[in-house]
Amino acid sequence: MKTLVIGSGIAGITASLDIAEAGGDVILIEKEHFATGTLASLDRQFPNDACGFCQVYPFTGDGVAQYCIRRVFTHPGIEVRTGTEVVSIEGEGPYTVKLRRKPRGVVIEKCISCRKCEDVCPVEAEDSFNRFGKRKAIYTDYPMPFPQSYAIDWEACTKCGECVKVCPTDAIDLNMVEGEEVIEVDRIITTTGFEEVDPSLIKEYGYKRFKNVLTGLEFERLLSFFGPTLGELKRPSDGKKPKRIAFLQCVGSRDIRNPLCSYTCCMYALKEMHLLKRFHPDVEAVMFYMDIRAFGKGYYKYFLETDGKFIPQRVAGIEEDENGNLILKYEDENGRFITDVFDMVVLAT
């Protein structure tokens, strides 16, 4: 039986591996040009803070990188298609699925990732992967991506042709067009992924107004050795290393605007505090929270092992002084109104 898995994040990868290991055939599709979704932006992952880049080794046989999720890309029972999305689904099983393949602009089989195209590209675009700074119109999302090939951002590309001139393998096709294909599958699994709350809607926290107010994923990219600062912890406003960082929980949730709990923010914020203290032990970490939702085995122990200060209060608002420092206002457990100054704030969204 053949299964179509839609989405190449951790859920899609896990589902594909489970089916393929049981003997099934899988087509795994991803609408973006690079696979693995948000997972690729996490250097280290909860709950064991394992290095994410230990997953780059391919599965070559029993006992070799056996638990590496990237073996989905080399598994004989799994076909991975990036830049591909579903147009329509017909039938009640088996299903007739029409797929659309977006033009990558680079022939995967020819690209050798020499970076010459990136070096000569004159056009810059927002770096949506690192969430800071710029990247070129011809780009790769992250080190050792899948597939290991460049792609063109057509919204930014001017088709100037400079990349074509320097490509040693004639891999770049600025006239590449989209294509469609119809496939038959027996089962379909949709892995919906997730989206962060847009914290700019929470006006009192100043996201996008104050440069040193970041989301959790932005903070993780700052800590990443492959991130925009190569692991150096710097404030976006002035490049200085922060001395005090506040972690704010339940941003966009558990209030009158949205009473629901995301269920995961407590633990990923604790992971970020662990990473901060591992690589920058001199930086003070303070968490403002309602409850610590340690919902899994060993998670409360992980909380107790966190090197930081915990204040069981929600922050009422944030202001910025002339130096880019952030002034937090909150009420303490005795009902006193407190103001405290931090160099950086990380929002759990």
30-82 pLDDT, tens per residue?
Answer: 999 999 888 888 877 776 676 654 544 444 444 445 556 677 788 899 999 99
Judge contact between 28 and 73, C-beta under 8 A: no
Lowest mean pLDDT among 89-98, 100-109, 257-266, 306-315: 257-266
d(CA 111, CA 149): 6
Q: What is the pLDDT of residue 194?
A: 85
Query: pLDDT (tens digit, 9 = 90+) per residue, 50-63?
Result: 665 454 444 444 44
Nearest 5°: CA angle at 210, between 233 and 331?
95
Please say if the pLDDT value at position 118 is more than 50.
yes
Would 2-102+178-190 and 199-347 be classified into the same CATH topology? Answer: yes
In angstroms, what CA-CA distances link 111 with 108, 124, 167, 170? 5, 21, 9, 8
Q: What is the mean pLDDT of residues 119-134?
A: 94
| Contacts (Cβ under 8 Å, ≥6 apart) of 32 | 82, 83, 141
Q: Which CATH class is domain 2-102+178-190?
A: alpha beta
Q: Report the alpha-carbon distance of residue 41 to residue 199 in Å, rounded.
A: 19
Tell me if 188 sits within 8 A of 89, measured CB to CB: yes
The pLDDT of residue 67 is: 55
Burial degree of 339 (CB within 10 A; 0-12, 13-18, 19+): exposed
The model's confidence at residue 240, banded by pLDDT at 50, 70 and 90, is very high
Q: Are 273 and 308 in contact (CB under 8 A)?
A: yes
Contact 172, 109 (CB under 8 A): no
pLDDT over 70 at 307, yes or no: yes
| Tokens describing residue 302 | 């992980």
d(CA 228, CA 220): 11
What is residue 58's predicted lDDT score, i.e. its pLDDT?
43
**Looking at residue 110, what is its pLDDT?**
98
Q: Where are the domains of the chain?
A: 2-102+178-190, 116-166, 199-347
Q: How far apart are CA 244 and CA 341, in angstroms?
A: 8
User: Is this model's pTM higher than 0.75 or not?
Assistant: yes
AA letter at 190: T
Task: Tell me the average pLDDT of the chain.
Answer: 91
Give 196's pLDDT tier (boundaries 50, 70, 90). confident
Q: Tokens for 11?
A: 């859920």
Rounded Cα distance, 304 and 282, in Å: 19
CATH class of segment(s) 199-347: alpha beta
